Amino acid sequence: MRNKFTILTLLLVLILILTACQPSDGIEEISEEETSIVEVIVYEQTDYEYFLSVPSAEISTPVMQGEDNEYWLRRNLDEEYDIYGTPFFDYRCEVREGRNLIIYGHASEKMELFGRLSALLDERTALQEIITLYINGQPIEYVVVSVYRQPQDTELIHAQIAFNGDSDYLLWANEIEGNSLVETGRTIAVTDTVLVLQTCIMDGSNDYLIVVAKKI
């Protein structure tokens, strides 16, 4: 009887040891859901030539470029009709070499899409924001210099692509800086490359919201 008790005790101890060695559920292992999220993010950034990330505005999107500024205005990534279109570079931009890179994107009445760029009208948010443009998966980071409203029926100075030398570029930069509704304390130098984001402000004014950032 004593031998039987001893054997049963040993078996119970062995079972407990084996059970303790199994991995715990939901703690050490990465869930399938987490894995799929990581895979989607990597896939998006590497599957498109250009990709834009603006964390405070919850923007994480491919950016396209056409032969004009109409093609992607009302087309989605499958090149099918979509009223909100797809964010796109101005067709005149030389993305890898240009001084001023312009990206256009739609807003909606629910502040979705590029409408969330209005978050950068908050000074603290604008100062802390790092905008990232990926080119073939390689990140280029920008800090916000200026955020302002631009009536659509006025001269859209932010859309200037070509400059008549450094002095012309600095005059343009000074006007951009002066338009800002937030105090960033940042300026654009001759050697700086600029990224401009343009969208509509959905408040009945028909103004554009312009975000200007410079490469770090």
Confidence class for position 122, pLDDT limits 50, 70, 90: very high
For residue 5, being part of any structural domain is answered with no
Long-range contact pairs involving 123-128 (C-beta distance under 8 Å, separation at least 24) = 123/182, 123/183, 123/184, 125/56, 126/182, 126/184, 127/182, 127/184, 128/56
For residue 125, being part of any structural domain is answered with yes
pLDDT tens, position by position, 28-46: 333 334 333 333 444 366 6
For residue 67, being part of any structural domain is answered with yes
pLDDT tens, position by position, 134-173: 999 999 999 999 999 999 989 999 999 999 999 999 999 9
Contacts of residue 130, defined as CB under 8 A and 6 or more positions apart, other chains included, come to 55, 141, 142, 143, 216
**What is the pTM (predicted TM-score) of this model?**
0.78
Length of the chain: 216
- Helices within the chain (DSSP H only): 2-20, 32-47, 123-128, 166-178
pLDDT at 206: 82
Whose tokens are 């067709």? That residue is: 91
pLDDT tens, position by position, 2-21: 444 444 444 444 444 444 44
Q: How many CB atoms lie within 10 A of CB 72?
A: 23
Give the domain CATH number at 93: 2.40.260.10
Q: Which domain holds residue 72?
A: 49-215
* Closest to 170 in 3D by CA, of 188, 195, 158: 188
Q: Count up the domains in the chain and report the number.
A: 1
Q: How many CB atoms lie within 10 A of CB 48?
A: 18
Instruction: Tell whether the model's pLDDT for residue 183 goes beyond 80.
Output: yes
Whose tokens are 């570079």? That residue is: 89
